[in-house]
Amino acid sequence: MDVFTAKRKDLKEKKKNKMKHEKFYDEVKIFVKGGKGGDGCVSFRREKGVPRGGPDGGDGGDGGSIILKANKKVSTLVYFHHKSHFIAQNGEHGKGSNRTGKRGKDVILWVPLGTVVKDGKGKTLADLKKEGDFFIAAHGGKGGRGNAQFKSATYQAPKEAEKGKEGEERYLILELKIIADVGIIGLPNAGKSTLLSRISNARPKIAPYPFTTLRPHLGIVNVDEFNSFVAADLPGLIEKASEGKGLGDRFLRHVERSKVLLHLIDVGEDIFPNPVERFYIINQELEQYNPELLKKPQLVAGNKLDLPGAKDRLDQLKREIGNKYPVIGISAQTGEGLNRLLKELLLLIQEEKNKESRHYS
């Protein structure tokens, strides 16, 4: 292998490792500024054979704008971590012979579906949920008028023109809320990542210790030949997550976008707190963060049925909460109960979509 080939291989490997360990960014602060409008022109006609030529100064072109646009091919806000200042092109100045200056080019910034745009004080300005949704983050300044615009019957030779306006500028906060049909929630080590890897094409990191998952993972779940849905493995919540404990407070916002919640509970380990208490710990955090979250359909799955004593603890879970929430038993490790789980989730998703269609019709 020659030196050139070796260097290329080394660079390729470094780039691959960098992408592999890229952090997940779901909130960034950016500065945007629209382009300045071009100045109007002061000009008079000076053509042979044209007596008493009048003013012919053209208008300045408008400045370009900064536009945020939702794109399904973009998954995180990492681009804005590396570059956070954006300024659009200025408009060109007006010219003689009534020629208007060119408009400045817009800057289009692609953001993931589910991006919420807020001003510096936290007020929501836009919610870009669907492909193609856009928001003008900073308008370009208007171009100034040339002296031809000031001509009147009593003012035949105006010698003034307007300056172009400055473009709008401000700081914005971009906040990503992942859009998924199913949000998988639960305490650390409940088996969320294992389950997502079994039922979808996602390959999250899996290990037997808390906070293995440091970022949400999305996967497409194929239920049958005609039906599929998107599931998100949301990082482990813990008690007082809504107050900033652990990692959960960073990711609670993603729960808001899920149509259905799959609450995964470890029934395989005989540890404190018991499965019922674990269920209420998470639901209490959801309520404290946003009471509306408890109105979402929630399917409870007792995981790790392959372990001794798990079926007894699953029965306890059914007795305590089965009258309020559907409870089924599964083993993400062996695959037991997964077919039934997917069918139940699909029914809940379809019910929610029907409600939404009736609401908007």
- Give mean pLDDT, residues 256-279: 88
- E strands within 132-194? 134-138, 169-176, 182-185
More confident residue, 7 or 220: 220
pLDDT of the residue at 52 = 61
Q: Evaluate if residue 226 carries a pLDDT over 70.
A: yes
DSSP string, 251-284: HHHHHTT-SEEEEEEE-SS--SSPHHHHHHHHHH
Q: Given this model, what pLDDT does residue 93 score?
A: 96
pLDDT band at 21 (very low <50, low <70, confident <90, very high): very low
Domains of the chain, with CATH numbers? 23-176 (2.70.210.12), 182-360 (3.40.50.300)
DSSP 233: E
Q: Is the pLDDT of residue 303 over 90?
A: yes
Position with higher pLDDT, 107 vs 243: 107
H or E element in which residue 110 lies: strand 107-111
> How sure is the predictor about 17, in pLDDT bands with cuts at 50, 70 and 90?
very low
Reply yes or no on whether the pLDDT at 309 is more than 50: yes
Local confidence band at 215 (pLDDT 50, 70, 90 cut-offs): low
DSSP3 helix / strand / coil % (the chain, rounded to 5)? 30, 20, 50
Q: Which residues, in sequence order, are CB contacts of 133 under 8 Å at separation 6+? A: 69, 70, 113, 126, 127
